[in-house]
Amino acid sequence: MGAKIRFALLLLLIIIAFFLNILGLLKLMPIYITSPLLFLSLLCFIYYMNYAKQFKGFKG
C-alpha cells in the first residue's frame, strides 16, 4: 500500500470519526462509542506520521 493512499485513508477515517462524534454530541449515537473511535483514529494518524519520519539507520 502506497504512502499517499495510507495517508488519505487515515484522513478519511478521521473525517468519518469526527462526523460520527458530532452525531454523538447530538445524541443520535452513543457518545461512549464515537469518542473512542475518534481518539483511536487520531492516535493511528499521529503514530503513522511519527513512524514515517523515524531514522532507520544507515544503508551499507
How far apart CA 36 and CA 57 sit, in angstroms, is 35
The predicted structure's pLDDT at residue 57: 79
Residue 60 predicted with pLDDT over 80: no
The predicted structure's pLDDT at residue 10: 95
CA–CA–CA angle 34, 35, 39 (5° rounding): 120
Predicted TM-score (pTM) of the model is 0.82
Of 1-5, 7-11, 28-32, 44-48, minimum mean pLDDT range? 1-5
pLDDT in tens, 8-20: 999 999 999 999 9
